[in-house]
Structure 1
C-alpha cells in the first residue's frame, strides 16, 4: 500500500510540475462578459461622477421566447413602450382603472423581465405592489433571457376605479462598490408580458361611458381608437365634432399615448388597449350601430352598443351639432374631482399638485416615502404643475427644506443633487449637521428650468465611504444603513410672476395655452384623412397633457386678431397662411430663409465677427445665460427652414393684429400622420419649447428654436406685487436694459444730490 501511495504521490508531483492539475482542478474564473440577449441600458443623466462606458453588447444569437398570446380577458399594465428600473433603489408607479366586474373577478398578475448581468441575485429583489399590498416578490436573477413570473392576486386587493400598481427593485452590484457602478444596474420589464388576467372572460367588456378609462393600453403601451364616422370630412361641423371627440377621449381614457385611426369598417376583434367608436348623425349610422338610431333621432346619445363588436362606443344625434354635444359629454368634468391636482393618468400614479402661487409641498403628499438606504446612490422624485402664464424662469428660487440623516462613515465629499426636468439645478456637498442629522436644511433651487405645466423634480444622493473604496467581499449586500430621508421634506415655492409670454410652445404643450382659457379658438384643418387625424392627434395630446379642453371652432379663413390652430401640410396652405406661419415654404439648403436662419443662429451662439458679441458670449457662459440676454435691440425672428421633407413642425407666432397662431405642418403630407404621432409621444411632447419645434424621421430628439422677441400679454388682474415680479424677471432676461436702468438711476441720484446740496448746503 505504501508503494502504491508513493507511486501516486510521485505521479501527482509530476502532473503538478506539468501544470495539468491546475487546469483540471482550479475553479473557473468569474465570467463578467455580457450574456446573450442582453442589451445596454440607456445612458444615465449627467451626475457629479459619470459612469464609465460599457463595452458593446454582442448581438443575441438566439431569438427570445415569444410573449404570451393576448386574450380577451386581460389588461396590460405598462403605459410605455418599455419600463426600466435603474439604480440601487427604483420605484415606478402606474394607475390602472378597473370596472366593478374586473375588480370582482379572480385574477392573476403576469410579469416578464430581463436584468443586467452585474445585478447580484442574492441581494436584489423585484416586487410588485397593488394598492399597497405586495402581490409578487422575486430575486432578480434573469440576465440570460426574459423570465416570466405569475402570481394570483389576493381577493379584495383590486377595487373599482383607479388602482395604484407599483414596480419596485432593490439592486446591488456583484463586485463593485463605487457610485459609478450603480449606473450599470437595471431591470427591464416587458410591457407585452406584464398584465393582469381575469378569470371572467367578460370582465373587460365595457358597458357604460364612465368606464372608458378601463380601455387601458396594448402590448406597446399605447391606446388605439378605431373611428368609424361616415361623412366626417364632408363638412366643417363634422370635423369640428371630430376635434371635440379627440380631446374628450384624451381626457376620458386617462392614457398618455392615444392613437386615432379613421377607419372604413370596424375591426373583427377588439384586443386589449383598443376602442371602437362610431360617430355619425342617426340617419347615417352604419348597420353595426343601427340599434341606437331610434334614440338618436331626437337627442344626443353616447352609449356602448352591446350588439356590435366588443367595446364599441356610439355617438349620435339628429345632426352633427348633436353628435358634437354627445362627444363633449364623455369628457365631462367629474364634479367630485379635486381642482388642486392634475387628473390622474395611467402613467402618473402619484398626485401632481397645481400651483397658482406660493405654496409648500410636503413630499409625502406627492408620492415620496420615508426611506432607509444602505447603498451608494439613492434617487426619488415628485412632480407638480405650474400655470400657463408662469413667468419666473429667470428670477427667484424655490427652496427644498431637507429632513434627512447620514451615518458617521459618510464622507464629506458625498453629494446631494437636484434635477429639474432632467437638468441639474443644484449640487450640494453632504455636510453632517448635528452629528449627521439635518432638520429643515434649506437647499435653494433656481427656477430656470421650471416651465408651464408638469414639472419633474428628482433628488439624488451620492454617498461615499472608506469601506466602499476598499470594497471587501459582501459589502454590497451587507452594508449598514447610511442614509435616511423623511417624507416630511418640503418644497417651498415662492410667489412668482404671472403673465402670458408668446410665442411659447412649452405652454401650449403643457397646458393648452392660450386656447384652453378661451371662449372659442379658431381651427383651420386642411383636406384629407391624414391631415384631420393629425389635427385630432395634436389636440388630444394637448388635452391629455393639460387635463383641460380647448373650445374650438372650425374656420376656413382665420382672422389674425384672434387665436387660432392651423393644421395642414405646407403645400396645402394658402399663401397668406404660409407667410404668417414663421416657416419657410422651401425645404433644405439654399431655400428661402436659409441666410436669415444662419444669421440668427450665428448671433444667438455668439459666433460673430463683432468683438462685442464675443464678450457677450463669454459673459453669458459665465453667468449661465444666453447671448440674447445681452441684446439691447433684439433681431426679428426669421422664417424657419424645414431641414427634411418628412419632419413635422410645430410653430407659434403672435400676429401683429394680436392673435396667437399655432401651426402643425410638414413639407411632405404623405408622412404627416406618422410624424405627428411620433411628436405626440410623451418623451418628445415634453421636449417641445420655444417658437419652433421640429422632429424629422431620423432626428434623435426634438429640435427647438428660442424666440428672439417675446410679447407679454396680461392674464391677471392688476397687482403691484405681480408687476414687481414681472419686472424682476424681465430685467433678469434683459441684462443691458437692466444695466442702463441702474446707470440712469445712479445719474439721477447724483443730480438730485448735487441739486439738494446746492440748494440747502452750507454757503461760504
Structure 2
C-alpha cells in the first residue's frame, strides 16, 4: 500500500519538473537571437494541399551565400481582399532564366478576427493552376506561408498570379457584417523565389520588361548622367525615359536622375548610364571600347560585378540620340495607327479593350467567368478603356445584358447594383419570389461617371433570405448556391459623341491628350537642368508615354516665352515660371512669392481664417446665402448645378495653393487659345521631385481631373479644381451623326440654353403656323 501511495507523488513530481523545463524555454515574443521557429511548407500526402508547419531551426553553422532572389508580385503598398468573395490578379513578367528557376511562391497575410477559419479559404492560383490553398486563420498577426510551384508552370513572358478569398463571418448573417470581412496581403512578404543569376538577370532590351517591383510595389529607373547640365542631353534623356517606360509598363514607375553611380540596386530598380564615352569612362571601367567610335545601347557588368547595368553611350550626343531612337522605335506606336486596347500592368495580365463607339462584348471576353455564390453580398467587375475624345457624359447610356439566376430562398428587397469608377450608376431590384433566371436582362448604365482612359465597372448583388434573418448556428457557412452570374452576359455601349475638350487633366492622365496624336514635337521647357527637374520631367513623360501608348516627340526650349502657339509642357519651381505662363494656366500670380514661404505663414493663416469667418457671417443673411442654399437644394433634389443654368461659361478661378500643398499640375490654353500648356510646379526643386513621384503612383495618377490638381503633404487624395471654360477640338472627320451627338450632349449639359432654344423654336413654329393659317385660311 505504501508503494501505491508513492506513485501519485512520483507522477506529480515528474509533471512539475516537465513544466519547469518548458518554462525555461525562451519566450517567442522576446527571442532576439534569430532562433525563432521558421515557417516552411511541406506537401501533405493523400492529395491534400500543402500545409504550413512550425519547425525549429537547427544549430547555426557558418553563413552561406544566399542563392535565391525575390520577384515581388503586388504593384501596390497594400492589398485588401474584402467581402465574402474577393479576387485580385497580377501579371508577372519573367525572363527565361527566371521562369525555369522559380521554385516557390511566398505569401504573407493577416485577416479580420471575425472571419470563421473553418469556412473561409485563401487560394493562390498561378496561370490558372491552383498551387496552394489554406484556411484564413491569421487574426493575431501576419503569417507567412510558402507553396511549391510545379516545374514548367511558369513561362517566359507574362504570367498571371491570382489571390482568391472566400470569407465567412463567425456569428453574424447580416449584409452589414460582410463589410467587416477582410484579408490583408503584405506585398513585401509576397513574392516568387527564383535562383539568383550572378551574371545579372537582364541581358537584352527585351528583358527590361522583367525589371519587376520593389517591396512596396514601386519600380524605379536610376539614370546616371555625369553631364546632366548639358542642353544637348535633355532630348535624349526624355526620349529614353519614355522608351524604358513603354518597355516596362509598370503602374508605379519613376525616374531618378543622378550624376554618380549608386553602389547597389534594390528589387524593382534598374541602373541606366547615359553619356558620352569620355564622360562614362571614369565611372565604368568595363565600358565597351566601341563606344568611342559608335553608339552602343547594351547591358554591361557593374564595377562591383554584382549586377548588370544598362549603358547608352557614344562618341557624342547626336550618336547617343541615334542609339536611343533605335531602342525606342520597335516599341513605339506610329502616328495614325489606332490602338484597340489600353496596355498597363495593374489588375490583371490582359489588356483592357478600348471602346471607341458602338460595341458589344461578353463578360467572358472581359475576363469575368461564370460563378456561383452562396453568401450575402457578391461583387465582381472588369475594366474597359474610353478614348480621349469621349463626350457623352450628360446623356449617354450603356447597357448590361445580364444572364444570372437566383434561388427560391432569395427574398424581395434584394438588388443588383452597378458601379462605375466607384460611383453607383444603376440599381435593379429583385421583386419576385420562388427564384428566377435572367436571360439578357437589360440594365441601363448612365455614362456620366465614365472618363477617358481606364474605367472600372463593378457588379454587386445583395441577397436577403429568411435564413439570414434567423441566423442559426453555422448558417453563415452554408454552401448551397443562392446566386449565379454567367459569362454569357454582355456589355453594350452605344455610338457616342467624339470631340475633345481642353483643358482636361482626366484625359491627360487617361490617354495623354492632347499630346498623344500630334505630329509636331511638343515644346518642353525646364527652368533648370538639375537632378530634381530632370527627374520630375522624366517621370511625367514616362507616365504620358504609357497612357498614350507611344513615345512623344519633344523639343526642349530655352525660354518659355519662345513657345508661342504650340502644345507645351513646362516644368519648374513656381518662382522661376514667367507670369504669362501662370496667367494662362490660371495660377494666382502672388503664389510665385507666397507659396512655400516660411515667414509670415502664421499671420497669413490667421488672416485667411478670419476672412473665411466673416465671409460666412455675411453670406448667412444676404441674398448670396439664399442663392447658395438654392444651389444646394437644386443639386440634392434634381442633381442640377447653377453652372448648367448659364448661357455663357463662368470665369476660371485662379488657383492659389494652400500651405499643405507641395505640388501642382495645371493646364490652360496658349495666349491665342490654339494650343494647350501643361505646367508642373512646386515651391522647391525637392518638392517638385517628391510631388511628381507621389502623383506617378497609379492610384493618384488616376485622380488627375479638371483644370488643376494639387498634391498635399500627407493628403489621401488630390485636390482637383473643375474647368469652367472648355475649348472643343475636332478629332473625327465631320459627319452629321457625330455633330448631332455632340449637340445632344452639349444641350444636356446646358439646360438653360436648351430651354431658350426650345422656346425660340416654339415661337418660330407659332409664327409660321399663324402665317400659314392667315394665308390659306382655316380648314373645314
| TM score, norm. by length of structure 1 | 0.86
Partner of 1:260: 255
Partner of 1:396: 396
Q: Aligned with 2:364: secondary structure?
A: helix
CA shift digits 1:631-653 (9 cap, x unpaired): 12222213111112652111000
Q: Distance in 1 between matches of 2:432 and 2:484?
A: 13
Shift of 1:227: 1.2
Shift of 1:518: 1.1
The 5-angstrom pairing of residues 175-574 of structure 1 reads 175-199=171-195, 201-202=197-198, 205-235=201-231, 237-289=232-284, 291-306=286-301, 308=303, 309-333=306-330, 339-432=339-432, 435-519=435-519, 520-527=521-528, 528-557=530-559, 558-574=562-578
Q: Distance in 2 between matches of 1:325 and 1:176?
A: 66
Q: Distance in 2 between matches of 1:180 and 1:390?
A: 37
Q: Distance in 2 between matches of 1:721 and 1:71?
A: 64
Match of 1:700 among 716, 736, 749: 716
Q: Distance in 2 between matches of 1:462 and 1:306?
A: 57
Partner of 1:583: 587
Q: Distance in 2 between matches of 1:246 and 1:601?
A: 49
Alpha carbons of structure 1 residues 259 and 612: separation in structure 2 relative to 1, 3 Å: closer
Are residue 648 (structure 1) and residue 652 (structure 2) matched? Answer: no
CA shift digits 1:15-57 (9 cap, x unpaired): xxxxxxxxxxxxxxxxxxxxxxxxxxxxxxxxxxxxxxxxxxx
Shift of 1:609: 1.7
CA contact (8 A) 1:210 1:330 kept: no
Alpha carbons of structure 1 residues 148 and 645: separation in structure 2 relative to 1, 3 Å: closer
CA contact (8 A) 2:102 2:192 kept: no
Alpha carbons of structure 1 residues 254 and 70: separation in structure 2 relative to 1, 3 Å: farther
CA shift digits 1:268-312 (9 cap, x unpaired): 333321111001123322345454453334543221113545131
Shift of 1:612: 6.1
Q: Aligned with 1:172: secondary structure?
A: coil
Alpha carbons of structure 1 residues 103 and 572: separation in structure 2 relative to 1, 3 Å: same
Question: Is 530-539 or 480-489 further displaced after alignment?
Answer: 530-539
CA contact (8 A) 1:646 1:667 kept: no
Shift of 1:72: 5.7
CA contact (8 A) 1:106 1:200 kept: no
Q: Distance in 2 between matches of 1:632 and 1:338?
A: 37
CA contact (8 A) 2:225 2:260 kept: no
Alpha carbons of structure 1 residues 347 and 317: separation in structure 2 relative to 1, 3 Å: farther
Q: Aligned with 1:701: secondary structure?
A: coil
Alpha carbons of structure 1 residues 482 and 565: separation in structure 2 relative to 1, 3 Å: same
Alpha carbons of structure 1 residues 627 and 601: separation in structure 2 relative to 1, 3 Å: farther
Alpha carbons of structure 1 residues 102 and 163: separation in structure 2 relative to 1, 3 Å: same
CA shift digits 1:191-221 (9 cap, x unpaired): 1111111235448611011010111001111
Q: Could you list the runs of 5+ residues in structure 2 that have no partner in the other structure? A: 1-64, 592-602
Shift of 1:349: 2.4
Shift of 1:450: 0.5
Alpha carbons of structure 1 residues 185 and 545: separation in structure 2 relative to 1, 3 Å: farther
CA contact (8 A) 2:220 2:268 kept: yes
CA contact (8 A) 1:531 1:567 kept: yes
Alpha carbons of structure 1 residues 661 and 589: separation in structure 2 relative to 1, 3 Å: farther
Q: Aligned with 1:498: secondary structure?
A: coil
Q: Aligned with 1:488: secondary structure?
A: coil
Are residue 663 (structure 1) and residue 679 (structure 2) matched? Answer: yes
Partner of 2:17: none
Alpha carbons of structure 1 residues 763 and 580: separation in structure 2 relative to 1, 3 Å: closer
Question: Is 587-596 or 465-474 further displaced after alignment?
Answer: 587-596
Shift of 1:682: 1.5
Partner of 2:169: 173
Q: Distance in 1 between matches of 2:515 and 2:142?
A: 46
Question: Is 389-398 or 535-544 further displaced after alignment?
Answer: 535-544
Q: Distance in 1 between matches of 2:477 and 2:164?
A: 17
Alpha carbons of structure 1 residues 297 and 717: separation in structure 2 relative to 1, 3 Å: farther
Q: Distance in 2 between matches of 1:198 and 1:628?
A: 58
CA shift digits 1:438-491 (9 cap, x unpaired): 010000110101011111111111111111011011111124100000111111
Q: Aligned with 2:444: secondary structure?
A: strand
- Count of aligned pairs: 694
CA contact (8 A) 2:88 2:347 kept: no
Q: Could you list the runs of 5+ residues in structure 1 that have no partner in the other structure? A: 1-68
Q: Distance in 1 between matches of 2:739 and 2:490?
A: 28
The 5-angstrom pairing of residues 102-113 of structure 1 reads 102-113=98-109
Question: Is 252-261 or 657-666 further displaced after alignment?
Answer: 252-261
Partner of 2:78: 82
CA shift digits 1:386-444 (9 cap, x unpaired): 11111111121000110100001111111111111111111221244995100100001
Shift of 1:505: 0.4
Q: Aligned with 2:507: secondary structure?
A: helix
Q: Distance in 1 between matches of 2:380 and 2:723?
A: 34
Q: Distance in 1 between matches of 2:378 and 2:115?
A: 16
Alpha carbons of structure 1 residues 580 and 192: separation in structure 2 relative to 1, 3 Å: same
Q: Distance in 2 between matches of 1:597 and 1:659?
A: 37
CA contact (8 A) 1:316 1:323 kept: yes
Match of 1:98 among 87, 94, 103: 94
CA shift digits 1:526-582 (9 cap, x unpaired): 213212211111221222334332221111234231110111111111233233231
CA contact (8 A) 2:127 2:159 kept: yes
CA shift digits 1:480-519 (9 cap, x unpaired): 1000001111110111111110111000011111011112
Question: Is 614-623 or 247-256 further displaced after alignment?
Answer: 614-623
Q: Distance in 2 between matches of 1:581 and 1:92?
A: 40
Shift of 1:71: 7.2
The 5-angstrom pairing of residues 653-692 of structure 1 reads 653-657=668-672, 658-692=674-708
Q: Distance in 2 between matches of 1:99 and 1:488?
A: 36
Q: Distance in 2 between matches of 1:589 and 1:246?
A: 41
Shift of 1:102: 1.0
Q: Distance in 2 between matches of 1:165 and 1:673?
A: 33
Partner of 1:52: none
CA contact (8 A) 2:68 2:194 kept: no
Q: Distance in 2 between matches of 1:136 and 1:451?
A: 38
Alpha carbons of structure 1 residues 625 and 72: separation in structure 2 relative to 1, 3 Å: farther
Partner of 1:749: 765
The 5-angstrom pairing of residues 25-40 of structure 1 reads none
CA shift digits 1:651-687 (9 cap, x unpaired): 0001241110011111333322112211222111111
Partner of 1:31: none
Partner of 1:632: 647
